[in-house]
Each structure stands twice: as structure tokens, then as C-alpha cells.
Amino acid sequence: MLSDDSAVETYIRESSSSTAHPASLGTAAMSAKDADYGVVELDSIMKGVDGLRVVDASVFPFITSAHTQVPTYVIAERAAALIKSAWLYQRWYDRTSRSNLICQKKKEANFELLE
């Protein structure tokens, strides 16, 4: 029989377990770009790989003490916003580049007419 609080706490810590599957958590941990640990940057882009984002519970750098459903939703919503923002920027950049190219061609054509 356990008589003091520290013995009860020790017993609980040593004998309890979880039915969750935490094996997938932290396998692609998120960290800062210049950090020595982690494989995913804060914007969900895998370090050293172009065009690959990791958007799941494996990016958690440590296992949460609560259910992982809500934090996973937060990661997914944030990644969706980042992906959409990157896509919109790329569209704007492509259009701007195309527009600048057309203007350059028109300028060149006008200079050719003046010569």
C-alpha cells in the first residue's frame, strides 16, 4: 500500500501508459531554419528540399500532453494559409514578370522604329 504522496506519484509515473500512437509524432520535427535539430522549417517546408511541405502531427517537436487533434488542425490551417499565400505571390510574380517582359519588348520595338 502506498502511504505518501511521492510514492503515489512515483507509482503513477512508472506504471501508467497511453493508448495513443505517439510514434508518428516528432518524426519530422519543426524547428528554426538555422537550428541543428528538426527537418521542417517554421513555414512547413522541409529543410533542403524544394517544393515539399510536411503538414501533419509529425512536425510537433515534442508530444503534447493533450489530444493531438486540435494542434494538428492548427498546423494544417496555418500551412494552408502559407501555401495559399505562396501560390498567390507566385501568380502575382509571374504576371508581373510577364507584364515587364511585354513592356520591354514594346520598348525595344519602339527603339527599332526610331532608328
Give tens-digit pLDDT for 8-64: 888 888 887 766 655 566 678 888 888 888 888 888 888 988 888 888 888 887 777
The Cα–Cα gap between 56 and 71 comes to 10
* List 3, 4, 18, 21, catalytic entry: 21
| Cβ within 8 Å of residue 64, ≥6 positions away | 71
Domains for the chain: give ranges and CATH numbers: 20-114 (3.50.50.60)
Instruction: Give CA–CA dist 33/46, Å, rounded.
Output: 10
Whether residue 38 contacts residue 31, with contact meaning beta carbons closer than 8 Å, is answered with: yes
In which residue are the cell numbers 502511504 written? Answer: 3
21 catalytically annotated: yes
CA distance 98 to 80: 27
55 classed as catalytic: no
Angle formed at CA 60 by CA 57 and CA 62, multiple of 5 degrees = 130
> From the CA atom positions of the chain, what is the Rg in Å?
26
What's the pTM value of the predicted model, to 2 decimals? Answer: 0.58
For residue 113, pLDDT beyond 60: no
Q: Residue 102: what pLDDT?
A: 75
Instruction: Quick: pLDDT tens for 80-97.
Output: 999 899 888 888 888 887
Cα–Cα distance measured from residue 101 to residue 67, given in angstroms and rounded to the nearest whole number = 52
Of the residues 16, 67, 113, 114, only one is catalytic, namely 67
**Residue 77 confidence (pLDDT) above 90:** yes
